[in-house]
Amino acid sequence: MRFVAAIVLLLAAGGSLASTVAAPAVDTTPRIEHRRDGVEVHRGAVSLRVTALTDHVLRVRIARDGAFAEDASWAVPAQVRRAHVAVEAAADGFSTTALRVRVDPRTLRMRVEDGQGRTISADAARPFDADGRAFTLRKQLPQAEHIFGLGDKTGGSLDRRGQSYVDWNTDAYGFSSATDPIYKSIPFFIGVGGTGGSYGILLDNTWRSWFDFGHREADTLAFGAPDGPIDYYLIAGPSTAEVVRRYTDLTGKAPLPPKWAFGYQQSRYSYMSADEVRQVAARLRADKFPADVIWLDIDFQDRNRPFTINRQAFPDMPGLVRDLRGEGIKLVAITDLHIASAPGEGYAPYDSGTAADAFVHNPDGSVYVAPVWPGPSVFPDFTEASVRDWWGTLYRPFVADGIAGFWNDMNEPAVFDTPTKTMPLDTVHRIASDDFARRTASHTEIHNVYGMQNTRATYDGLRKLRPDERPFVMTRASYAGGQRYAVTWTGDNASSWDQLKLSVHQLINLGLSGFAYSAADVGGFTGGPSAELLTRWFEIATFTPVFRDHAAKDTPRAEPWVDGPEHLAIRRRFVEERYRLLPYFYALADENARLGDPVMRPVFYDYPDAISASCDQSMAFTLGRQLLVAPPPTPESPQAYDVCLPAGGWYDYWTGLAVDGASVDGASQPIQSASQATNEKRSSSLVVKETPRLDKLPVFVRAGSILPRQPLVQSTAQTPTGALQIDVYPGADCRGQLYADDGHSMAYRKQGFLRQVLRCTVTADGVRIDFAAREGQFKPWWKQLAVTIHGWDGAGYAMAGGHRVEGVADSAARTLRFTVADQPRAATVEAVHR
Ligand code: GLC
């Protein structure tokens, strides 16, 4: 029957099969059946069902032999999958309030248009092939379209067009920009630049799927899998931001992390003893190097056995936690999933797991055993809810010791001494979870979600053990939706300039794929960075979501101080800036938790025209809407480079001066206003020439920003003293946001937060700042606001609550500064020229 379906499709597409078998006895009259929420198209044995989950999100499922695959998902929760809106039927399909869907029942080709008839996505001539259980879907890839997302896949550029990829979670030690597959499978990508605007596609299939973005055929987008459901979501924008937000509506938002996750994090494989950890902490503090976390890698354990402690090296874990807490430093500990196979040795995770029959089985029913760090190991079957519950309980002793966060590594799962680097495909998982039917599944089906379910077990376990604390879990492997449980990092990268560049692309694409919290091992895991590379990496990491310095065993040390005082001073200056920017980072976290906007973004996310900028933008990114970070596109090269600043005006972050304003030494120099350039669309964008200097990283603030910053602290555990700093950079649509809460508990879900929108307007007399009413009931640490208005000339004063406050003007910096009381209620503060 399936074979027949494939033939029917080939014939429909104009293919010829000279020696075909006799005509099948199936009804091949194509027909469209209208449903309240979409259509079902029948063509022979194949059915195509398109449903509108919302006015902008379609779900497309294909049944190749009359029956649709099980309606269950690890990525999209049941209540989200079941959402639907009523549609308006048309002869050839249907419309929602935003989309027009046309399906040709003879070919099964689908076209999705916006309300103006512009194509958002259109199937290729041969939209669908099945070959046995395998399937291929094909869509047109217009020339103007760029492709992003797909998690932290490698490749030479941010844009994935022209590349092809395989999703198969792989322990890719020492990967390069040409390695594929690597650790994660996030089968979601975004098309940007087509006539109907940006759109996204999530192929919700956990098998070894593949994606070809115009690699084999330049104008064709193809994807498929060797088995599993033919089930994908098409998410319309038109903006990229709308696509990403809607993708996170489908697969979930990353929960608000504890504030300390934004602090500087020091790691190494491994700090070998409590004494060494104390020395690292002491050195960070002696060097006045702000830091929040030290990581414990596998050597803190007894014989690499997860959930144990090497008591010779770490005799008193609660004591260590207490001492570090006094320094404002928290511990994150690794807890790999492979449990040592140690029968009769009193190793509790093995014994309790065995009693619960928690481990993955061989086809013959025996428990699968294979070598990883502890030697022979067994592997929890995280697809069973009860096994996840059991796993969660393993954290109880570490939680009691006060360990703050946990690291789920090796969860592809990695297995040693086998060419496949993972477990055999026929090992047996038992699914008892969500709305899946209770059934067994081979590892082929589960492999790509195994790591995600590992982190789910950890996250849910921590929620139970510490119900009022936000969990912090870091993972290496994951699947679409894994952002609900863990932050992620890009695995075992290398100490090279190429990898620094790759890491920027990876983190941006992770953000577009729902993972707003991501890190790359700063300095590179393998090899050992040069002093220059490590310094540059520190500078760039300052503006990335999660900043962890980590390095492999037997590599040179890579802590901030290892290259002498000059490098240390530069690295410290940047990390200090990160700590000053914490209120901004935290407001972005709040925005991400509610809306799904990434923390670190491609420039075109907020500035769509940037997609066609003339500069090499391959290293540029934005941190929220307000900051544009522009590292050298060839970071090892001293060559000058151009930065394209989107229309609207920009300020130099470091000097505070408008980029087209008076120049001071070291400030960015505009070389050309693009009005001189031919492209009318960018008529008011600026091209700025930058000459790389190791101690400098160009960062720009959008004109029309209000940026909150705080006095320097050495740790997020410290309460800043002084005023909250409010920097106002006048320009169009000028706004900013304050967000605060206690930084660690769940109280923010019950009014224990503060959120306030600020807007600025240039008036005839100066600049007006409007404070909206505050949401939430959290009382912040600041009592005063130290306001700096940028781009200010001459003397001035401020009016706040009917009182006049003198301002201090600085003609060289072109600023007016004044301090006013905190504004907890809707209020206006005006800066007035004198
Ligand atoms: C893996 C991890 C690495 C860690 C090492 C030891 O290689 O990717 O970060 O240091 O295992 O646990």
Q: Tens digit of pLDDT for each residue in 468-504? A: 999 999 999 999 999 999 999 999 999 999 999 999 9
**Helices 274-286, 317-326: inter-axial angle, 10-degree rounding:** 0
pLDDT > 70 fraction of the chain, expressed in percent and rounded: 94
**Residue pLDDT, tens place only, 274-332:** 999 999 999 999 999 999 999 999 999 999 999 999 999 999 999 999 999 999 999 99
Print burial letters for 501-534: b (CB count within 10 Å at least 16), e (below 16): bbbbbbbbbbbbbbbbbbbbbbbbbbbbbbeebb
Q: What is the pLDDT of residue 684?
A: 67
Which atom of ligand 1 is the closest one to the Cα of 298? 12
User: Smallest Cα–Cα separation from 384: which of 326, 325, 446?
Assistant: 446
Burial class (CB in 10 A: 0-12, 13-18, 19+), 494: buried
- Contact present, 729 and 707 (Cβ < 8 Å): yes
Q: Is 298 in the pocket of ligand 1 (CB under 6 A)?
A: yes
Q: H-type helices in 34-164, by residue range? A: 78-81
SS3 percent helix, strand, coil of the chain, rounded to 5, is 20, 30, 50
User: Smallest Cα–Cα separation from 597: which of 514, 654, 526, 498?
Assistant: 514
Which atom of ligand 1 is the closest one to the Cα of 297? 12
- State the CB neighbour count (10 A cutoff) for residue 712: 15
What is the rounded CA–CA span in Å between residue 7 and residue 17?
8
- Contact present, 433 and 450 (Cβ < 8 Å): no
Q: Give the strands of the sheet with 119-131, arranged side by side.
A: 88-90, 93-95, 99-104, 109-114, 119-131, 134-140, 220-225, 210-213, 164-166
Residue at token pair 């001071």:
664
Which atom of ligand 1 is the closest one to the Cα of 334? 12
Ligand 1: which residue has its CA nearest to atom 10?
Answer: 269
User: Smallest Cα–Cα separation from 484: which of 452, 445, 450, 511?
Assistant: 452
Tokens at residue 173, please? 């030690």
| Rg for the chain, CA atoms, rounded | 28
Q: Is 409 in the pocket of ligand 1 (CB under 6 A)?
A: yes
Q: Is 336 in the pocket of ligand 1 (CB under 6 A)?
A: no
- Contact present, 685 and 714 (Cβ < 8 Å): no
Task: Write the CATH number of the domain with boundaries 601-702.
Answer: 2.60.40.1180
Pairing assessment for the beta strands 487-489 and 518-519 based on DSSP bridges: parallel
Q: Which residue has the higher pLDDT, 125 or 667?
A: 125
Residue 465 has φ and ψ, to the nearest 5°, of: -75, -35
Q: What is the pLDDT of residue 25?
A: 53
Which atom of ligand 1 is the closest one to the Cα of 521? 9
Q: Is 334 in the pocket of ligand 1 (CB under 6 A)?
A: yes
Q: What is the pLDDT of residue 51?
A: 98
Question: pLDDT confidence of 597, banded at 50, 70, 90?
Answer: very high
Which atom of ligand 1 is the closest one to the Cα of 492? 8
Tokens at residue 404, please? 């703050």
Instruction: Give residue 700 CA to ligand 1 midpoint distance, Å.
Output: 35
**Residue pLDDT, tens place only, 643-658:** 999 999 999 999 999 9
Residue 20 has φ and ψ, to the nearest 5°, of: -70, 155
**Which range (50-64, 154-168, 189-203, 665-679) has the least confidence?**
665-679
- Contact present, 383 and 441 (Cβ < 8 Å): yes
- Contact present, 485 and 75 (Cβ < 8 Å): no
Instruction: Give residue 195 CA to ligand 1 midpoint distance, Å.
Output: 44
Q: Is 295 in the pocket of ligand 1 (CB under 6 A)?
A: no
Residue 365 CA: distances (Å) to CA of 357, 360, 437, 450, 498: 11, 9, 20, 20, 46
Rounded average pLDDT over 763-783: 98
Rounded average pLDDT over 656-676: 51
Instruction: Give residue 507 CA to ligand 1 midpoint distance, Å.
Output: 19
Probe residue for ligand 1, chosen from 334, 525, 526, 548 as the CB with the greatest number of ligand atoms within 8 Å: 525
Q: Is 412 in the pocket of ligand 1 (CB under 6 A)?
A: no
Residue at token pair 């990581």:
295
Residue 360 CA: distances (Å) to CA of 333, 365, 440, 475, 754: 25, 9, 11, 20, 46
Tokens at residue 183, please? 């650790």
Instruction: Give residue 457 CA to ligand 1 midpoint distance, Å.
Output: 20
Probe residue for ligand 1, chosen from 268, 271, 303, 409 as the CB with the greatest number of ligand atoms within 8 Å: 409
- State the CB neighbour count (10 A cutoff) for residue 4: 20
- Contact present, 326 and 285 (Cβ < 8 Å): no
Ligand 1: which residue has its CA nearest to atom 5?
Answer: 269
What is the rounded CA–CA span in Å between residue 516 and residue 523?
21
* E strand or H helix that includes residue 240: helix 240-251
Rounded average pLDDT over 754-771: 98
Architecture (CATH level 2) of domain 2-251: Sandwich (2.60)
Burial class (CB in 10 A: 0-12, 13-18, 19+), 139: buried
Do the domains at 2-251 and 722-833 have one common CATH topology? Answer: yes
Instruction: Give residue 464 CA to ligand 1 midpoint distance, Å.
Output: 27
Q: Is 822 in the pocket of ligand 1 (CB under 6 A)?
A: no
Instruction: Give residue 492 CA to ligand 1 midpoint distance, Å.
Output: 7
pLDDT at 35 over 80: yes
Q: Is 269 in the pocket of ligand 1 (CB under 6 A)?
A: yes
Q: Kindly provide the residue ranges of all beta strands, DSSP E only, lying in 177-336, ordered along the sequence.
A: 188-192, 199-203, 210-213, 220-225, 230-236, 264-266, 293-296, 330-334
pLDDT at 814 over 50: yes
What is the rounded CA–CA span in Å between residue 798 and residue 805?
5
Which atom of ligand 1 is the closest one to the Cα of 173? 7
Burial class (CB in 10 A: 0-12, 13-18, 19+), 676: exposed
Secondary structure (3-state) at 146:
strand
What is the rounded CA–CA span in Å between residue 61 and residue 69?
8
What is the rounded CA–CA span in Å between residue 700 and residue 606?
14
Instruction: Give residue 269 CA to ligand 1 midpoint distance, Å.
Output: 7
Instruction: Give residue 410 CA to ligand 1 midpoint distance, Å.
Output: 8
- Contact present, 295 and 549 (Cβ < 8 Å): no
Question: pLDDT confidence of 660, banded at 50, 70, 90?
Answer: confident
Q: Is 703 in the pocket of ligand 1 (CB under 6 A)?
A: no
Give me the residue spans of the domains in the chain. 2-251, 259-337+385-415+446-594, 601-702, 722-833
What is the rounded CA–CA span in Å between residue 773 and residue 585?
21
Name 645's bridge partners.
686
Secondary structure (3-state) at 352:
helix
What is the rounded CA–CA span in Å between residue 490 and residue 549?
13
- Contact present, 482 and 202 (Cβ < 8 Å): no
CA atoms within 13 A on the CB side of 68: 16
Probe residue for ligand 1, chosen from 334, 476, 492 as the CB with the greatest number of ligand atoms within 8 Å: 492
Q: Is 171 in the pocket of ligand 1 (CB under 6 A)?
A: no
- The CATH topology of domain 722-833 is Immunoglobulin-like (2.60.40)
Q: Enumerate residues 6+ apart whose C-beta is below 8 A from 365.
A: none
Q: What is the pLDDT of residue 27?
A: 56
Q: Is 297 in the pocket of ligand 1 (CB under 6 A)?
A: yes
Q: Enumerate residues 6+ apart whose C-beta is below 8 A from 270.
A: 296, 297, 298, 299, 300, 553
Ligand 1: which residue has its CA nearest to atom 4?
Answer: 269
Torsion sign (Cα): 662, 664, 667, 671:
positive
- Contact present, 750 and 809 (Cβ < 8 Å): no
Rounded average pLDDT over 446-460: 99
pLDDT at 10 over 60: no
Probe residue for ligand 1, chosen from 267, 269, 373, 415 as the CB with the greatest number of ligand atoms within 8 Å: 269
- Contact present, 512 and 244 (Cβ < 8 Å): yes
Q: What is the pLDDT of residue 28?
A: 65
Q: Is 492 in the pocket of ligand 1 (CB under 6 A)?
A: yes
- Contact present, 200 and 248 (Cβ < 8 Å): no
Q: What is the pLDDT of residue 674?
A: 34
Separation of CA 296 from chain center? 24
What is the rounded CA–CA span in Å between residue 61 and residue 82?
14
Q: Which residue has the higher pLDDT, 219 or 28?
A: 219
Instruction: Give residue 382 CA to ligand 1 midpoint distance, Å.
Output: 21
Tokens at residue 816, please? 């007016």
**Residue pLDDT, tens place only, 534-579:** 999 999 999 999 999 999 999 999 999 999 999 999 999 999 999 9
CA 403-408-411 angle, 5° bins: 165
Instruction: Give residue 537 CA to ligand 1 midpoint distance, Å.
Output: 20
Probe residue for ligand 1, chosen from 305, 373, 410 as the CB with the greatest number of ligand atoms within 8 Å: 410
Ligand 1: which residue has its CA nearest to atom 3?
Answer: 492
* E strand or H helix that includes residue 385: helix 385-393
Name 590's bridge partners.
none
Q: Is 491 in the pocket of ligand 1 (CB under 6 A)?
A: yes
Which atom of ligand 1 is the closest one to the Cα of 553? 10
Active site residues: 409, 412, 492
User: Smallest Cα–Cα separation from 542: which of 553, 532, 534?
Assistant: 534
Report how far apart the first and last C-alpha atoms of the chain are (Å, whole number). Answer: 84
Which atom of ligand 1 is the closest one to the Cα of 414? 1
Which atom of ligand 1 is the closest one to the Cα of 336? 12
Instruction: Give residue 720 CA to ligand 1 midpoint distance, Å.
Output: 35
Task: Write the CATH number of the domain with boundaries 259-337+385-415+446-594.
Answer: 3.20.20.80
What is the rounded CA–CA span in Å between residue 123 and residue 103?
10
Q: Is 560 in the pocket of ligand 1 (CB under 6 A)?
A: no
Tokens at residue 8, please? 């029917």
Q: What is the pLDDT of residue 65?
A: 86
What is the rounded CA–CA span in Å between residue 465 and residue 672?
59
Which atom of ligand 1 is the closest one to the Cα of 552? 10
- State the CB neighbour count (10 A cutoff) for residue 460: 17
Instruction: Give residue 335 CA to ligand 1 midpoint distance, Å.
Output: 11
Instruction: Give residue 549 CA to ligand 1 midpoint distance, Å.
Output: 13
Probe residue for ligand 1, chosen from 297, 305, 406, 475 as the CB with the greatest number of ligand atoms within 8 Å: 297
pTM: 0.95
Residue 138 CA: distances (Å) to CA of 127, 133, 234: 5, 17, 13
Q: What is the pLDDT of residue 663?
A: 31
pLDDT at 732 over 60: yes
Name 165's bridge partners.
211
